[in-house]
Structure formats: C-alpha cells, structure tokens
C-alpha cells in the first residue's frame, strides 16, 4: 500500500430507534458502503491509488448518508446507493466534486 491519491470515508454509524440524532444507518448507508466496496473491487480502484474505509460518526447525521473524501476534505450528504458511480466517475477519477451532493455550508464550511 501507499498513501492514497484520494481516501473515501463512508459513515456506517447506527443508533437505536428514536434516537434524536438519527444516524446514517437509518438513511441506508450500508447499501452506500456496499456499492463503494463492490465498485472498488470490480474497477480495481485500490490498484489505482484510491482507498476506502468505513467509519463511525462523521457529524451531519440528520443529513446522511455521509461520505467524506480526503485530502481535499469534501463532504457529501444525502448520498444514495445510486449516487456512488457518479461520485467515483466525476470526483475520484476526474477530480470534479459532485455539486448536487455537497454538504450544506452550515454543516461543513
């Protein structure tokens, strides 16, 4: 392994039903993670210098599912499984963040 060009962090935090903060798990993050994981394997993204890790809480629980890309520090919220291919094609492979999914300034600015 080497220091990655981009490191994708996918929140997989869960909380009990009725918890006031909610969680990314409530918003389907397990499927978002699976899409990333499958795509990294199928498209050999690890071998292309990208890295993928799942995490505890990244912060904007009420807007999840949350995905954070470093080193640029771009946070995405409201990510759905169908968004993953676009995040890979536009941002990870073409360095163009997906505007539609950017976290609002009140949570990440």
Strand partners, 102: 76
Site residues for a copy of itself, window 13-52 (CB under 8 A)?
51
Contact between 7 and a copy of itself by CB under 8 A: the answer reads yes
Closest by Cα among 98, 12, 22, 109 to 52: 12
Asked if 55 touches a copy of itself (CB under 8 A), the answer is yes
Cβ closest to a copy of itself, residue 42 vs residue 109:
109
**Nearest distance, CB of residue 6 and a copy of itself, angstroms:** 10
Nearest-approach distance from CB 45 to a copy of itself, in angstroms:
14
Cβ distance to a copy of itself smaller for residue 7 or 15: 7
Q: How many angstroms separate the CA atoms of 48 and 40, rounded?
A: 9
Q: How many CB atoms lie within 10 A of CB 81?
A: 16
Least gap, CB of 101 to a copy of itself (angstroms): 16
Can you tell me whether residue 13 is helix, strand or coil? coil
Helix (H) or strand (E) holding 34: helix 29-42
Q: Which of 69, 68, 78, 75 is nearest to 29 (CA)?
A: 78
Q: Which parts of this chain interact with a copy of itself (CB under 8 A)?
A: 1-3, 7, 9, 51, 53-60, 70-73, 75, 107-109
């Amino acid at each position: 392994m080497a220091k990655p060009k981009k490191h994708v962090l996918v929140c997989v935090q869960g909380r009990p039903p009725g918890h006031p903060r909610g969680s990314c798990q409530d918003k389907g993050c397990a499927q978002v993670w699976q899409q990333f994981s499958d795509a990294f394997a199928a498209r050999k993204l690890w071998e292309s210098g990208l890295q993928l890790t799942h995490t505890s809480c990244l912060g904007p629980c009420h807007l999840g599912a949350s995905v954070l890309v470093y080193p640029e520090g771009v946070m995405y919220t409201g990510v759905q499984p169908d968004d993953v291919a676009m995040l890979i094609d536009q941002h990870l492979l073409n360095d163009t963040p997906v505007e539609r999914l950017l976290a609002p300034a009140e949570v990440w600015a």
